[in-house]
Amino acid sequence: MGKTDGTLSPASVHTLDMSGGQTFDIPGVRGRMERLQFPSGIVLYRLEYEALEDCCLDMQGGFDEPWVGSALHIQGQSELLCPNGEHHTLNPDAAMLMRIDQQGSRFQLYKGQLVRHVGASSTLRILRERFGNSLPGALQEFDTPFGNSCHIRTLTPSARLRQLASGLFSQHANGACRELKLEAIANLFLSELIEGLEDASFTDDALPMWEEQAYQELLDQVSRSLDSPLSIPTLADHVGLTESRVDQLFKLKNDQTLAEFIRNERMTLAQQLLETGEHPVKVVADKTGYAHVSNFSRAYRSRFGETPARTLRRATNG
């Protein structure tokens, strides 16, 4: 849900035009934005920047008709400040579907944050054509006349969505077919978010108290044991549930299976440890349950789009 408490601190404001890709080196921010518009009508945004001080980027939009966009930070955190006074946190655990017609939306950035951001957008006119002249239920709230619309829906990103986001920064999205690959991934990225919002509109009945307790016990066990092997069958047996029921609970609560949840928690901890600059990669691998550094490095790069060694170098050189 959006927040309107206005607690964000004042900061310098700089303008970034979303209608065209550019390298930007403005006071307080250093990085690059790429905007690619594909024949399918999908527009892809890829941003990578480092905040050198607390500041705001005033985002100038690129649409003049009803549209919808998706957004996810693969790495880092910022706040989206909307013209209507709401603000929303963007981080790797919060994906968004949004439409903000009015000029004046801003990203508040925090000193020391390196942010990798991906977004895919399309006009509703084009999406309607692709859905056979209608829109799925998840997009109905975005289908209003252009002018003053400000709609934002936040949901927990699925493992599939995170994988697609990382793919948009991957070295494999290069070469002779670069734009063809990026267009395909951008379409899948937007589709995954739309489907995620569709699924979120259907809720199960409240869980029995004992299953709620079992779920909380699993959360506690995972958080205490990220540095150890975690067996899904053993965890399920410990709380008296089948493996399939455990996965159902975690899909309901987190839109992830238990295995996906564990992997995400390990990667989150790994990034936190590396960004302190205090632990070598092998130690971080050990602390997050990986017996082999090579497996850890592959998992980390797949999750964040860079090797753990690069994250560590940035922390120690900063």
pLDDT in tens, 189-211: 999 999 888 766 544 456 788 88
pLDDT at 265 over 90: yes
Give the per-residue pLDDT at 10: 46
Grade residue 8 by pLDDT with cuts at 50, 70 and 90.
very low
Percentage, residues of the chain above pLDDT 70:
88
Give the per-residue pLDDT at 6: 43
pLDDT at 45 over 60: yes
Give the per-residue pLDDT at 288: 96
Grade residue 1 by pLDDT with cuts at 50, 70 and 90.
very low
Give the per-residue pLDDT at 258: 93
Grade residue 312 by pLDDT with cuts at 50, 70 and 90.
very high
- In terms of pLDDT, which residue wins out, 17 or 231? 231
State pTM to two decimals.
0.67
Average pLDDT rounded to a whole number, residues 50-79: 87
Percentage, residues of the chain above pLDDT 90:
48
Q: How far apart are CA 233 and CA 170, in angstroms?
A: 33
pLDDT at 13 over 90: no
Grade residue 5 by pLDDT with cuts at 50, 70 and 90.
very low
Best CA proximity match to 286, nearest among 276, 273, 305: 273
pLDDT at 158 over 70: yes
Give the per-residue pLDDT at 83: 85
Average pLDDT rounded to a whole number, residues 12-28: 61
- In terms of pLDDT, which residue wins out, 62 or 249? 249
Average pLDDT rounded to a whole number, residues 204-224: 86
Q: How far apart are CA 232 and CA 209, in angstroms?
A: 22
Give the per-residue pLDDT at 157: 86
Give the per-residue pLDDT at 97: 94
Lowest mean pLDDT, pick from 12-26, 53-67, 160-174, 274-288: 12-26
DSSP string for 237-267: HHTT--HHHHHHHHHHHHSS-HHHHHHHHHH
Best CA proximity match to 54, nearest among 73, 32, 28: 28
Residue 317 CA: distances (Å) to CA of 51, 82, 142: 15, 35, 44
Longest dimension (CA), the chain: 56
Q: What are the structural domains of the chain?
A: 12-200 (2.60.120.10), 209-317 (1.10.10.60)
Say how many Å lie between the first and final Cα of the chain, rounded: 34
Give the per-residue pLDDT at 152: 92
Grade residue 184 by pLDDT with cuts at 50, 70 and 90.
very high
Give the per-residue pLDDT at 172: 63
Q: How far apart are CA 315 and CA 112, in angstroms?
A: 10
Average confidence score pLDDT of the chain: 86
